[in-house]
Chain A
Amino acid sequence: MKRDPQMTMTNQTGFIMSVAYPAVPAYSRAKRSRESSDRVSRSDAEATIANEQEIRAGLSQHLTRLWRYAVVLSHQRDVADDLVQATCVRALERANQFAPGTRLDRWLFSILHSIWLNEVRSRRVRMGQGFVDADETLVFDGARDTETHIFANQVLHQVQALPEAQRTVVFLAYVEELSYREVAELLEIPIGTVMSRLAAARAKLAASAGSDKMEGSAS
């Protein structure tokens, strides 16, 4: 029973999406640049430089989260390294396009996603490299000690085995804990599409999880 996401949307006017996150800058200034940026008067160029320093500090703070997202997208660590690097270059280049007061991490995630979509992924497909199975590349060893870890690892693999469009929304909504609206904005897709992808992903995960184990664990 497939439903048209657009239908869902038009039928659900009056639907208010909760905004779960306050719009505070996500980056601290603790790591701000080595040189002092307390300049009294700033020319445009100086303002740009100051902004780049803030972006740099924010990048530094979010590197591991960006890398994790890149792994979720690409399934490959080395591609993830490169993706994060390209994201840093692009973000610094566009430092003056970042709107102060908005979430820097969201902005960085959207840059990474668009580089993945428009540059890396399409090139890899054209080059006929294709993609490797999640299980093949995601050898995240360790974490074998306890049952919790084994289970966590299973969840990781199940999500990573989802089609890209679905695992992306699952990751952003449930791991990064973005609201539907934030996911939609980051991926530049309608909220209805976010909803239908999540629904499809969860139906798939539910089917493989087996209801016995998970009863009542929703929160």
Chain B
Amino acid sequence: MTDPNRETIRSDEMLVAFLDGELDSNTREQIEHLIESDDAVAERLRFLMSSSLPFRDAFDPLLDKAPKAKLEALLAEISPPVPVVAEQTSGWTRRGFLAAAVGFIAVGVAVDRTFLGVQSSLHADQDGNDWRSVVAQYMSLYTSDTLGRGPVDVAAQTQQLRDVGAKLGLSLTPERVQLPGATLKRAQMLAYDGNALGQITYLDAMQQPMALCIVQSSKGAKAPDSEHRHGMNVVYWSNDTHAFMLIGHESLDDIKAMSDRLRQVLTA
């Protein structure tokens, strides 16, 4: 009866593991012995050895090709954890929310480039009620801490707005989206139902979170209307290419005034 190891020890797997220094000393010695005594094994080893290529050198240039700034921005855009404690009212846990966020991205990855152009209108109900409901739910999880109290980094904001604008087909700059009495915090891409959703966040005069959200929509222009969701005031409107909503804790009059300003600037 033949020793099962006899065949195994001379297999490509073992010879490659030998070349890779992955064998224990006992097995290594067996192979060294085989190389000396068996020409076929020595020849095979020489053949396999010719694939010991400079793999690291070959792949190192790829590191320089990585869009580092863009990736940094994507990372920075991911919201810090939303404090779970004081915000139980909405019934959304942070975990559920983040799971959903991952889901959005996964869908975005697959669908983004193929479908986004085709399906530029939201397939929600008639007046896009669904996306506003999701945004309101999402915003109800925000606290002033979510948006941070650090100094405003205008360069980062400019870049974020440019990226978001590019995805949505809008020209966005800090000047254009600045709102009186509010502090611009950041801009980021989210997704709703596979559609790109731009979110620009602010802290209002009372340091409460506020957001302007934008999706592409071909449902036609619609005059501003208002509603109350999750304890916040919402003003929403659309033009030929986009649907907008401004949501925050300020009084309805204030939200209206701010949305008027945005409407003028963003249609221009």
Enumerate chain A interface residues (CB-CB to B < 8 A).
1, 3, 5, 7-8, 11-12, 14-18, 34-35, 45, 48-49, 52, 56, 59-60, 63-65, 67-68, 71-72, 77-79, 81-86, 88-90, 92-93, 115, 119-120, 123-124, 127, 129, 140, 142-143, 148, 151-156, 158-159, 170-171, 173-175, 177, 179-180, 192, 195-196, 198-206, 209-211, 213-219
Contact = CB atoms under 8 A, between A and B. Distances in A.
In terms of DSSP, what is the predominant structure of the interface of chain B? helix
A213 B80 CA distance: 52
Given A202-B51, A203-B12, A209-B50, A84 B56 contact: no
Given A92-B81, A127-B110, A68 B54 contact: no
Nearest to B153: A34
Contact of B67 (A81, A119, A127, A202): A81
B231 interface: no
A93 B102 contact: yes
Contacts of B264: none
B108 A63 contact: no
B12 to A, nearest CB: 4
A85 to B, nearest CB: 5
Contact of B105 (A15, A89, A175, A216): A89
B66 interface: yes
A153 B59 CA distance: 8
B114 A127 contact: yes
Contacts of B109: 79, 82-83, 86, 119-120, 123
A3 B13 contact: yes
B110 A205 contact: no
A178 B177 CA distance: 48
B61 A143 contact: yes
Contacts of A79: 109
